[in-house]
């Protein structure tokens, strides 16, 4: 479950101005999807913020700043879910030749 899906907090109102073209597109999407404008905006905000979190933490993982486990925790995903994201996004595993040599020494 994503941390933004919690029901323990009261919803907050956030206002912003958007270009006319974007407002029209949101209204068109709302009509096609059979939703009101607010629902469309909330869904897009949820999707975008979740995507931002995943990208941020996977970038930190790729840079060797976070373990995959910690990235999953920060995104409130399971290890399997974050591993699927790594595969889907073709993230380079930060594992060097030196790391392999150290692991082999530890095994011996």
Q: Is the pLDDT of residue 7 over 70?
A: no
The values of phi and psi at residue 18, to 5°, are -130, 155
Band (pLDDT 50/70/90 cuts) for residue 5 is low
Provide the pLDDT for residue 3: 54
Band (pLDDT 50/70/90 cuts) for residue 90 is very high
Quote the number of domains for the chain. 1
40-62: pLDDT as tens digits: 999 999 999 999 999 999 999 99
Provide the pLDDT for residue 94: 74
Provide the pLDDT for residue 48: 97
23 CB neighbour count, 10 Å cutoff = 12
Supply the DSSP string of 3-31, one letter for each residue.
GGG-SSS----------HHHHHHHHHHHH
Q: Which domain holds residue 84?
A: 3-107
Q: What mean pLDDT is predicted for residues 9-29?
A: 93
Cα 88–chain centre separation? 13
63 CB neighbour count, 10 Å cutoff = 10
């Amino acid at each position: 479950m994503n941390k933004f899906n919690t029901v323990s907090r009261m919803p907050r109102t956030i206002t912003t101005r958007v270009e006319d073209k974007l407002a029209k597109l949101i209204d068109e999407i709302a009509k096609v999807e059979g939703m009101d404008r607010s629902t469309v905006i909330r869904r897009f905000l949820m999707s975008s913020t979740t995507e931002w979190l995943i990208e941020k933490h996977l970038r930190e993982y790729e840079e060797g700043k976070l373990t995959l486990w910690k990235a999953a925790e920060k995104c409130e995903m399971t290890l399997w879910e974050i591993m699927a994201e790594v595969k889907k996004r073709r993230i380079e595993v930060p594992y060097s030749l030196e790391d392999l040599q150290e692991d082999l020494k530890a095994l011996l």
